[in-house]
Structure formats: structure tokens, C-alpha cells
A and B are shown apart, each in its own frame.
Chain A
Amino acid sequence: ETGVTQSPTHLIKTRGQQVTLRCSSQSGHNTVSWYQQALGQGPQFIFQYYREEENGRGNFPPRFSGLQFPNYSSELNVNALELNDSALYLCASSLGGTADYEQYFGPGTRLTVT
């Protein structure tokens, strides 16, 4: 068990609604990354937060936004939900740094948009 937790486990929303997903990092980790994993695909990087600041972003529109709190827990917010936002959302915490740092993933939140 990695110590990274995510809530909720599952969520069903309607197109156009807004959703907030939460992630609690492993103790001592100051960096969190969020990924979207559509069915049958590999995870796609959404963004990363390091010490409460966005540290980098993937190819996702601005309606995907995030926050990192002083305790390094994190939120992913998605506005104006679309059907193709249905996916498994994974967060991963790490100590950050260079390319060799290991990420610890949470169990994910499965979002279904109807």
C-alpha cells in the first residue's frame, strides 16, 4: 500500500456539471501529478503541482484546474463536463526533482459522465 488515497472511488455526473476529485499524498511528498486514463489507454498527464504551485501542464483545456494545499493534498476540478471526460483519474505523489524520482499512485477515481 502506497499511502496515496483518492476520493471518491466512483462518481457519476451529468454533462455540463462540475466535479472535484481529491487526493491525499504520501507522507513527506511535496509533489502531486494528476493523470486521466480513458478506457483501454495509458494515463495522460494533466498537470503537476509542486509546493502549491502548478509546475507543468499537459494538453488539457483550462476547464481542468487544480489546487495543492499546504499539507500537500490536492484537488482536481473539471468544469463543464463532457462525455469524453469519462475516465479513471489517477493522482501520484512524489518528492519531485529529476527524472528518476518514483511516483506513488493512488487507486484512482472513476468518473462517468452521462
Chain B
Amino acid sequence: AQKITQTQPGMFVQEKEAVTLDCTYDTSDQSYGLFWYKQPSSGEMIFLIYQGSYDEQNATEGRYSLNFQKARKSANLVISASQLGDSAMYFCAMREDSVGFKTIFGAGTRLFVKA
């Protein structure tokens, strides 16, 4: 079974608009962490935002926010005021405390920001 599912292979958004990238996860752990990374064409994975399973507030980092719905096991990334430089691959990832050494990534969503 897929641990991390990203159902949107590609997304388009108009510059300055907001966009939501979907992520659902599967775990039986009570303690886990959820991450979003950005990967530009250069290849380097850039950490964007983190949400702990026990965090009651949704995480925010600048223009990035994570819409965490624990009961639904979803961790969607919201990018506000999209910029041309946001065009990249975006990966949702999870680390379970029971297997703390391993980060599991989804297949990614390619975001295209249109001018």
C-alpha cells in the first residue's frame, strides 16, 4: 500500500493566485512527521514546511501553509500568492517514529506558474 499519495501529477496556477497541492498518507503510528519539499530543475530538494502529528495548529512558513487534517490523513500544501519561481516539483514526505531513520516520499506534483 502506498504510504504517501499525491494524486495530482501536474498543476497550473496563475501568478499571484493561491494553489493547493494534495497529499494523503497512511500510517498506524501515533507519532509521525509530515514534510513538504520543493525540487527545482537543478535537482536539490529544498525543505519547505513540517507538521508533527501532535501539533494542533497547522504549520505555516511564509507563503506556505500545511492544511493538516489528521482524521482524513491528509496534509495538503497551500502556496499563497504564487510566483514564477514556484514552478518546480513538490514532494510530500512522512517519517514515522517507529521507523525514525526512513523518510517516505510521494511521487510528486509538478507545479507550473503562469505569468
Q: Contact residues of A with B, CB < 8 Å?
A: 2, 33, 35, 41-45, 48, 50, 55-56, 58, 88, 90, 92, 97-100, 102-108, 110
Contact = CB atoms under 8 A, between A and B. Distances in A.
B44 A33 contact: no
Interface string B93-115: 10111011111111110000000
Given A33-B103, A99-B53, 8 more contacts: A41-B108, A44-B105, A48-B102, A58-B102, A98-B33, A98-B100, A102-B47, A108-B43
Given A99-B95, A100-B33, A105-B45, A45 B108 contact: no
Interface of B: 4, 31-33, 37, 42-47, 50, 52-53, 91, 93, 95-97, 99-108
Contacts of B108: 41-42
Nearest to B98: A99
Contacts of B104: 45
A99 B43 contact: no
B45 to A, nearest CB: 4
Contacts of A56: 99, 101-102
27 contacts: A2-B44, A33-B101, A33-B103, A35-B105, A42-B4, A42-B93, A42-B105, A42-B107, A43-B45, A43-B103, A45-B104, A48-B102, A56-B101, A58-B102, A88-B43, A90-B43, A92-B45, A97-B100, A99-B52, A99-B97, A99-B100, A100-B52, A105-B46, A107-B43, A107-B44, A108-B43, A108-B44
